[in-house]
Amino acid sequence: MITELVIFDLPKGMTREQVVEGMRKVAPHWRANKELLRKNFLYDPAKGQAGGAYTWPSVEAAQRGHDATWRAKIREMYGSDPVIRYFETPVLVDNVVNDTIEAESV
């Protein structure tokens, strides 16, 4: 299991309301992705950035979710390229389902 951190710069002057509306708009797309385990939408108004923290079963699944088409869409919508980092996630605490999940060795 991996966590993918995606960050991109927002256009100057974009409001929180506009950012959140964009998140709501794409949420159904991410709900339909059967490989995605979790997504946390991120917003940093002080730095003018947004993005997401995704939990995937593998880096390959993450790369399929964030392919060249997706990257081009981010560039078109926000005028910046996303920065993506991958982290192995050996243990995940999920208080919503009241469980601690351990990943198999990568």
Report the pLDDT value the prediction gives residue 105, as an integer from 0 to 100: 57
Listed as ranges, residues in the chain with pLDDT below 70 are: 105-106
pLDDT at residue 8 in the model: 98
| Residue 80 pLDDT | 96
Q: Which residues contact 53 (CB under 8 A, 6 or more apart)?
A: 3, 4, 5, 6, 39, 40, 42
Mean pLDDT over each residue of the chain, to the nearest integer = 95
Question: Exposure string (b/e) for 26-52, b if CB count within 10 Å is 16 or more?
Answer: eeeeeeeeeebbebebebeeeebbbbb
Q: What residues does each domain of the chain span?
A: 2-102
pLDDT at 106: 47
Class of the CATH domain delimited by 2-102 = alpha beta
Nearest residue to 3 via CA among 92, 68, 71 = 92
pLDDT at 104: 77
pTM of the model: 0.92
